[in-house]
Amino acid sequence: MAERAGVSVGTMYQYFPHKQALIYALNERYLDVLAGKIEATCRASHGAPVGRMAEALIDTYWRAKTERADVTRALYRSVVELDNEALIETFARRVDAATVAMLRTAPDARFENVEPINLTLVTVIFGTVRNAFERQLSENDAVVLQGQLTSMCQAYLNAQMTGKA
């Protein structure tokens, strides 16, 4: 691994004394970049119709997870061994803040209590994408699943509206 990174083995051990430290650092960076992409999408989607918000959120998350599918798969397999609760909590706070703020700007929807709606929405999105990786779906099946996920999330958000904004 040190050779592929272009550094000496000693340098690797100086910063990452064992495999778990390296995987933890990789996961930390991965989640930070992923949260940043979601935050940017949410900011760009402020004021969009709620259905478009759901589509943009799903598309961003799906692309981020599939652009380096090898890294995503490796992290999914390896994080089971890590105590990464703090990383997940930080990621979740950032994503929840961004998605809740976005949903509150929908011109075509009002939600009485947006936090549990958001929790359900992001849990469904994240769980579906992880399951697609675990099942190693074909590209065609993944495209179909992404479309179905978008339709389902849009229908869910429409069902949760308490009125028009």
Return mean pLDDT, the chain: 89
Query: What is the three-class DSSP state of 110?
Result: strand
Q: Which residue pairs from 47-52 have beta carbons closer than 8 angstroms and sit at least 24 positions apart in sequence?
A: 47/105, 47/106, 47/107, 48/105, 48/106, 48/107, 49/106, 49/107, 49/108, 49/109, 50/103, 50/106, 50/108, 50/109, 50/154, 50/157, 50/158, 50/161, 51/154, 51/157, 51/158
Handedness of CA 16, 18, 19, 20 (dihedral sign): negative
Question: Is pLDDT of 120 > 80?
Answer: yes
Query: Length of the chain, please?
Result: 165
- CATH number for 19-160 (one of 3.30.70.20, 3.40.50.11540, 1.10.357.10, 1.10.10.10): it is 1.10.357.10
Q: Which two tokens stand for residue 139?
A: 């590209």
> In this predicted model, which residue has the larger pLDDT, 48 or 68?
48
Q: For 110-137, what is the mean pLDDT?
A: 96
Distance CA 151, CA 153 (A): 6
Rg (the chain; Cα; Å): 18
Give the pLDDT band of residue 38 (cuts 50, 70, 90): very high
pLDDT-based confidence at residue 75 (cuts at 50, 70, 90):
confident
Task: Give the pTM.
Answer: 0.86
Q: pLDDT confidence of 64, banded at 50, 70, 90?
A: very high
Query: Residue 144: what pLDDT?
Result: 98
For the ranges 11-15, 72-76, 137-141, which has the lowest average pLDDT?
11-15
Indicate the range of 15-19, 63-67, 96-100, 153-157 predicted with least confidence: 15-19
What is the C-alpha separation between 9 and 38, in angstroms, rounded? 35
- Residue type at position 78: S
